[in-house]
Structure 1
Amino acid sequence: MNLRLSTVILPYRRWNEGSRGAWQRAEQLGFHTAYTYDHLSWRTFRDGPWFGAVPTLTAAAAVTERMRLGTLVTSPNFRHPVTLAKDLITLDDVSDGRITLGIGAGGTGFDATALGQEPWSPRERADRFGEFVPLLDRLLTEDSVSYEGDFYSAHEARNIPGCVQRPRLPFAVAATGPRGLKLTARHGQAWVTTGDPRLFESGTPEQSVHAIRGQAEKLADACAAIGRDAAGLDKILLTGFTPDRGRPLESLGAFVDFAGRHQELGFTDIVIHWPVPDSDFAADEKVFEQIAMEAPTQLR
């Protein structure tokens, strides 16, 4: 399979002051998918403008025609499966079946306490995620769902007519630990990784590739344990969080080299951030567009 190139457009600009144009330009540049973060606020952007993922994707669906759209990623930090399912079915309908749900267990950032709760421990996040994903799977594939769990409940939740995509829209599950990889194997159509966060500050690109190879091997083991071939899952690398940081976007050659190393590990999709000036995602827009237009051909 040829390597696909996708982008993340952070929702920090007003729709009519640059955001609409970015989504339309992303389609013109040929990106396979344009994602956005599903957060209430995020890191260095916390004290500035930040808009909601679901309305942003709805608007993006209305001004694009071919490009896939999605979250990267949604988490249980402030989402409930019942209400999320209704939003996703609506998004899938408005986009005519172009939505991918990137989903993860969530972290300890601002979203984790925005509803007034104490931050969950890693174990509780994993426990909640282990209940969240299977319930959401049911809600997106069954007309009526009743469920009583430790963390989530649904009482005759109706989701008619269901997704345009059948049996439901695809899940791209972000996971590196054993429990998350088991969920990916059972419920995912794609796997997402950002690499090993322990290597971000002081690791090397070579160490990162080695760590990601190990993650992919563990995913293959999780798939084999339930009789599934891991080759059937798309494998998505969200860039910007490996020791390389922004260097792959410094030139076309640097990106092709970076992407090629990960393509050899079996990755089907590389996701790059739309340039954001004066941030961790600052990049030369001309180089960014050159990468979008020319890199996929060089990587075939």
Structure 2
Amino acid sequence: MHLSTVILPVDRWHHGGRDKWRRAEDLGFHTAYSYDHLSWRVPFRDGPWFGAVPTLTAAASATERLRLGTLVTSPNFRHPVTLAKELISLDDVSGGRITLGIGAGGNGFDATALGQEPWTPRERADRFGEFLPLLDRLLTEDAVSHRGTFYSADEARNIPGCVQRPRLPFAVAATGPRGLKLAARYGQAWVTTGDPKLYESGTPEESNAALRVQAEKLDKACADIGRDPAELGRILLTGFTPHRNTLLESVDAFVDFAGTHRELGFTELVVHWPIQDTQFAADQQVFEQIATEGLAQLDR
């Protein structure tokens, strides 16, 4: 099992931003991700929020070993052609250390920031179903032409392609049947935050059961196309399950959580870098102790 972190893009680069990414590498995190939004929920809505791709490019130059990625990008304000060019450039700058976390998106601020009406759940799924296969082609072929319902490309050229071959890995966020089919076909990993219906009043036991069901549906989606489910990493972005208030209270609490979720088949846990006075508040010293000792204790 790997332990990774999410560093929200809320700090000016020369006033704490760069230091967090370097510290994440020093602490031994497997990957440091960033959200790819134009803005996010309160209290972040009215404060600093920087772009994911420029931030990750800077982080790539400030680190040497740490994997980097989005968690997650969506079609809400992205187009496959321009995104592919940015990702190939980012993969090159990082020396092949980029993972693209990607999902269908939601009805948050990103959904209307470009002046459009928010898409229905069906339209989001339809768009994602076209976006992801086209992005896959753009990252693996030198020149791509495509005429789709939502996205088109006219000899879009992406030479020399990704450092990682045949392309950088996709970590596909999905819980519904259409998204899980895309994860099974195109993903090198699957991402979930758990069952959102259990966020407010669910129990840890209910959350674990819901995650088990999601994983079983992913297994079936893989079986339907003849793919070995073991080929996909399984990533849990923590902070959105009933465990969120206790997960980072102590190393012991984290070890209990990690052990349970390893038994559920998860290969990577992602914890949020502490931000005081927000839902991601945590003791920085305990957080760093978890980073350096948590998985070691789990294996004892």
- Decide: shared fold, TM above 0.5: yes
Q: How many residues get paired?
A: 298
Query: 1:246 offset after TM fit, Å?
Result: 3.0
What is the letter of the counterpart of residue 57 of structure 1? L
Is 1:275–2:274 an aligned residue pair? Answer: yes
What is the letter of the counterpart of residue 21 of structure 2? W
Say whether the 8 Å CA contact 1:172–1:191 is kept in structure 2: yes
- 1:255-275: CA deviation from partner (whole Å, max 9, x where unpaired): 010111100011000000000
Secondary structure at 1:46 match in 2: helix
Distance 2:3 2:242 in 1: 20
Tell me what 1:240 maps to.
239
Tell me what 1:295 maps to.
294
Say whether the 8 Å CA contact 1:246–1:281 is kept in structure 2: no
Is 1:6–2:23 an aligned residue pair? Answer: no
Query: 1:199 offset after TM fit, Å?
Result: 0.3
1:129-208 aligned within 5 A: 129-208=128-207
Say whether the 8 Å CA contact 1:92–1:163 is kept in structure 2: yes
Tell me what 1:39 maps to.
37
Distance 1:185 1:233 in 2: 8
Distance 1:54 1:191 in 2: 21
Find 2:25's aligned residue among 20, 24, 27.
Answer: 27
Distance 1:108 1:189 in 2: 26
Tell me what 2:216 maps to.
217
Residues 115-124 or 241-250, more deviating = 241-250
Say whether the 8 Å CA contact 1:11–1:51 is kept in structure 2: yes
What is the letter of the counterpart of residue 279 of structure 2? D
Post-superposition, which runs of at least 4 consecutive aligned residues in structure 1 deviate over 3 A? none
Can you give the 5+ residue segments of structure 1 that lack an aligned partner in the other structure?
none
Distance 2:156 2:102 in 1: 21
- 1:41-92: CA deviation from partner (whole Å, max 9, x where unpaired): 0001011000000000000000100010000000000000000000000000
Query: 1:298 offset after TM fit, Å?
Result: 1.6
Distance 1:237 1:292 in 2: 16
Distance 1:94 1:31 in 2: 20
Secondary structure at 2:68 match in 1: strand
Secondary structure at 2:247 match in 1: helix
Query: 1:247 offset after TM fit, Å?
Result: 1.1
Tell me what 2:261 maps to.
262
Distance 1:247 1:12 in 2: 24
TM-score, normalised to structure 1, is 0.99
Query: 1:245 offset after TM fit, Å?
Result: 1.4
CA RMSD of aligned residues (A): 0.4
Can you give the 5+ residue segments of structure 2 that lack an aligned partner in the other structure?
none
What is the letter of the counterpart of residue 221 of structure 1? K
TM-score, normalised to structure 2, is 0.99
Secondary structure at 1:247 match in 2: coil
What is the letter of the counterpart of residue 14 of structure 2? N
What is the letter of the counterpart of residue 104 of structure 1? G
Say whether the 8 Å CA contact 1:93–1:164 is kept in structure 2: yes
1:106-117 aligned within 5 A: 106-117=105-116
Distance 2:16 2:263 in 1: 36
Distance 1:256 1:14 in 2: 33
- 1:97-149: CA deviation from partner (whole Å, max 9, x where unpaired): 00000000000000000000000000000000000000000000000000000
Secondary structure at 1:111 match in 2: helix
Say whether the 8 Å CA contact 1:146–1:153 is kept in structure 2: yes
Distance 1:290 1:275 in 2: 13
Secondary structure at 1:28 match in 2: helix
